[in-house]
Amino acid sequence: MKNKTIAIAGILILFLSSCVVANLPSEDIPHENKLEKDNGMIIGAISFEATRARDILNSYTFYYSKEKGFAWDDPKKNNIRIKPSQTVGMKFKPDFYDNDRAVYYFKIEKPQGRYIFYAFRTMRDGVQSYTYTTKELAIPFTIENGKIKYFGELNVNSFNDVRAVSKSERDLPKLKEMFPNLVIEN
């Protein structure tokens, strides 16, 4: 009986700890300047107003692709997804907080070219249903062969409107601290 109780407690602890761990997009940022052949990279931030827990949604996804005129890339592969912690209430688990904003870092490594963030989708998980809301975006960015460039910030307000802003004064020193061997151009 005692072994069974210990086993159940162990499984419960593993389950709960797996739910609590945030999957940060910044975990994919390399710690060295190693790029795939003919690729470049942008590194940027996504920030959310850290509002009340009931205003936080279950997931936020930014879709990007080559600019129009080219074949659209696979949206299942070309997206950045933020999933707040959902174990005991909804909470952002960002890389850091900047005053009232939860800030997450991300990277996109692709072949040289012009790209665009074309959609932003949110998902709310209800008791018996899911609600998706998708907004069109038109936020361009350029990836240069062999370079790692700072993109800026995708700033999401409490109405889930998105705008691109530069936060290089904040981000470049913080990124240098987090990734000291990575050379990021402004």
pLDDT above 60: residue 12:
no
pLDDT above 70: residue 91:
yes
The percentage of the chain sitting over the pLDDT mark of 70, rounded to a whole number, equals: 78
Residue 112 pLDDT:
92
Residue 121 pLDDT:
93
Q: What is the mean pLDDT of the chain?
A: 82
Instruction: Identify which of 31, 35, 32, 67 has the alpha carbon closest to the alpha carbon of residue 147.
Output: 35
Residue 160 pLDDT:
87
Instruction: List the structure tokens of 151.
Output: 């993109």
17/132: higher pLDDT: 132
3-state per-residue secondary structure call for 94-162: CCEEECCEEEEEEEEEEECEEEEEEEEEEEEECCCCEEEEEEEEEEEEEECCCCEEEEEEEEECCCCCE
Q: Name the band, by pLDDT with cuts 50, 70 and 90, for residue 59.
A: confident
pLDDT above 60: residue 68:
yes
Quick: pLDDT tens for 96-151.
Answer: 999 889 999 999 999 999 999 999 999 887 777 778 889 999 999 999 999 999 99
Q: Name the band, by pLDDT with cuts 50, 70 and 90, for residue 155.
A: very high
How many Cβ atoms are within 10 Å of 75's Cβ, its own excluded?
Answer: 14
Answer for the pair 132, 168: CB distance below 8 angstroms, yes or no. no
pLDDT above 70: residue 87:
no
